[in-house]
């Protein structure tokens, strides 16, 4: 299957996916969400790969939502497919593993936080910039809170300042840091490949049952996202940023 926004490889029970929108900082658009959904469906199949490895480029894992796409239309993008994609990464019958190098912003943080295991190198940084535009990361927060707790997610949201790999490791957003991260990934895969697909599925169904806040938070997260991106002033500020590279408070 050909992909426009992903580079995909599958071997030895591991499906490796690289976000591949270099011209847009691997930003999330509807096409990327749809293609990632197709990839996840392969892992959800009973005879599918048991491990999904998700990565970006050396400079940026994912810059967040695609402001170019947002600015190009008056119709806000439906957030439900992206939330459902993250929910599938978090609860699906396979191991989702993010390999992070470089910058992770906004929705990219949600993508990382949804994964079962997060490996990073020392260049990784994680930030939530939404409040700079009058937004807040409504769909990201349930997944981020699950990893780092409410106060740290609150801090990241309000400060809009990125944190480095060491801080992300200390907070639990990242599980291990090493340079180069590829060596770390190889060591993890040696053991993860040995886990049986039925055992992974049973375990993650159990974890989903005892971690119900992700599913329960969905209606509130979607309602908040739709209200924010439907606000005419916020959309005007985003268009101005895309065309003039000026933040809302700049004259």
Residue 1: Cβ within 10 Å count: 8
Give per-residue pLDDT as tens, 43-100. Answer: 999 999 999 999 999 999 999 999 999 999 999 999 999 999 999 999 999 999 999 9
| Whether pTM exceeds 0.75 | yes
Residue 45: Cβ within 10 Å count: 11
Is 77 labeled as catalytic in the residue annotation?
Answer: no
Q: Count how many domains the chain has.
A: 1
Burial class (CB in 10 A: 0-12, 13-18, 19+), 32: buried
DSSP state of 126: E
With respect to residue 169, please indicate whether it lies within any of the assigned structural domains: yes
With respect to residue 96, please indicate whether it lies within any of the assigned structural domains: yes
Contact 62, 19 (CB under 8 A): yes
With respect to residue 19, please indicate whether it lies within any of the assigned structural domains: yes
Q: Cα 236 to chain center, whole Å?
A: 26
pLDDT of residue 174 exceeding 70, the answer is yes
With respect to residue 217, please indicate whether it lies within any of the assigned structural domains: no
With respect to residue 232, please indicate whether it lies within any of the assigned structural domains: no
Give per-residue pLDDT as tens, 119-150. Answer: 999 999 999 999 999 999 999 999 999 999 99
User: Which residue range is the domain that position 90 belongs to?
Assistant: 6-179
With respect to residue 99, please indicate whether it lies within any of the assigned structural domains: yes
Averaged pLDDT of the chain: 97
pLDDT value for 66: 97
Is 35 labeled as catalytic in the residue annotation?
Answer: no
Contact 129, 104 (CB under 8 A): no
The residue from 66, 77, 116, 121 that is catalytic is 66
The residue from 77, 116, 121, 130 that is catalytic is 130
pLDDT value for 1: 67
Region 11-22: mean pLDDT is 97
Beta bridge partners of 120: 100, 177
Q: Mind giving me the DSSP string for 5-66?
A: SEEEEEETTEEEEEE--GGGTT-B-HHHHHHHHHHHHHHHSTTS-SEEEEE--SSEEE--B-
Task: Give me the CATH number covering residue 138.
Answer: 3.90.226.10
With respect to residue 215, please indicate whether it lies within any of the assigned structural domains: no
């Amino acid at each position: 299957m050909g992909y426009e926004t992903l580079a995909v490889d599958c071997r030895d029970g591991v499906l490796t996916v690289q976000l591949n929108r270099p011209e847009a900082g691997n930003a999330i658009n509807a096409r990327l969400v749809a293609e990632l959904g197709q990839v996840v469906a392969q892992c959800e199949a009973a005879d599918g790969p048991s491990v999904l490895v998700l990565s970006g480029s050396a400079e940026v894992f994912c810059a967040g939502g695609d402001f170019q796409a947002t600015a190009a239309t008056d119709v806000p993008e439906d957030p439900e497919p992206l939330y459902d994609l993250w929910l599938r990464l978090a609860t699906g019958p396979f191991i989702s593993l993010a390999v992070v190098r470089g910058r992770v912003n906004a929705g990219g943080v949600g993508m990382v936080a949804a994964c079962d295991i997060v490996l990073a190198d020392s260049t990784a940084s994680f930030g939530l910039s939404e409040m700079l535009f009058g937004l807040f990361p409504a769909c990201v927060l349930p997944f981020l809170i699950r990893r780092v707790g409410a106060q740290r997610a609150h801090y990241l949201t309000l400060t809009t300042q990125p944190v480095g790999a060491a801080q992300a490791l200390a907070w639990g957003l990242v599980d291990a840091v090493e340079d180069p991260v590829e060596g770390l990934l190889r060591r993890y895969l040696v053991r993860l490949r040995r886990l049986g697909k039925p055992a992974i599925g049973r375990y993650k169904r159990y974890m989903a049952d005892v971690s119900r806040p992700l599913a329960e938070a969905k209606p509130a997260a979607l309602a908040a996202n739709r209200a924010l991106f439907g606000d005419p002033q916020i959309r005007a500020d985003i268009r101005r940023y895309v065309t003039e590279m000026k933040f809302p408070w700049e004259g």
